[in-house]
């Protein structure tokens, strides 16, 4: 059980760091508070638990049976008449129970967390929408491509020389909007 818990924690940390790296562009530079970042991590965790549990069982069972083999405990079990299938019965039973629990977890808890995760991502993007726009290059926001020459003012809310390309209804027709100053 100790091997299972430590393997789960290590794999969960790796997957959490990978998720943070995946969404760093949405989190960075927005002056988000620690509780919002923690809420982000909590909402992404149920999705990761579903991915991490099978890897945890695989890795920890390899480690446990490797340890048994290294210490000649398998040889002792074979000598006493215990077959490999009999020694693996508890692992198979535990894996089955964990599979059922994971099914109910992914069926009931994960969709709610996924909804909260997407809702939080949408709210984070609305915190400072000007942060999503880079100076001097086109930034895609929804069906809009926006280019700004300069951002200035309080929280970069004022924009100079703005060009907006609006894509219409899944066609290749664009409406181009130009402005000297935008507030």
Q: Could you read off the pLDDT of 80-94 as tens digits, one per residue? A: 888 878 888 888 998
Pairwise CA distance, residues 68 & 117, whole Å = 42
Its pTM surpasses 0.85:
no
Q: Six-digit token pair at 56?
A: 């945890």
Tokens matching residue 28: 């960075």
Phi first, then psi: what are they for 29, rounded to 5°?
75, 15
Q: How far apart are CA 20 and CA 23, in angstroms?
A: 5
Residues 37, 67: Cα–Cα separation, whole Å: 39
pLDDT in tens, 108-146: 999 999 999 888 888 877 766 666 677 778 877 777 788
For the chain, which residues make up each domain, given as ranges? 2-127, 130-182
Cα dihedral 144/145/151/157 (nearest 10): 10
């Amino acid at each position: 059980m100790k091997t299972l818990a430590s393997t789960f924690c290590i794999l969960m940390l790796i997957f959490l760091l990978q998720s943070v790296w995946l969404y760093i562009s949405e989190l960075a530079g927005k002056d988000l508070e620690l509780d919002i970042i923690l809420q982000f991590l909590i909402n992404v965790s149920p999705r990761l638990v579903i991915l991490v549990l099978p890897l945890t069982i695989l890795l920890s069972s390899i480690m446990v049976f490797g340890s048994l083999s290294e210490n000649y405990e398998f040889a002792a079990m074979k000598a006493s008449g215990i077959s490999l299938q009999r020694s693996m019965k508890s692992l198979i039973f535990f894996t089955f129970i964990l599979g059922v629990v994971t099914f109910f977890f992914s069926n009931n808890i994960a969709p709610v967390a996924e909804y909260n995760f997407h809702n939080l991502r949408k709210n984070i993007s609305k915190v400072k929408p000007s942060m999503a726009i880079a100076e001097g290059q086109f930034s895609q926001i929804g069906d809009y491509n926006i280019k700004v020459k300069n951002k200035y003012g309080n929280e970069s809310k004022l924009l100079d020389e703005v060009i907006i390309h609006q894509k219409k209804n899944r066609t290749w027709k664009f409406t181009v909007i130009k402005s000297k100053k935008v507030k």
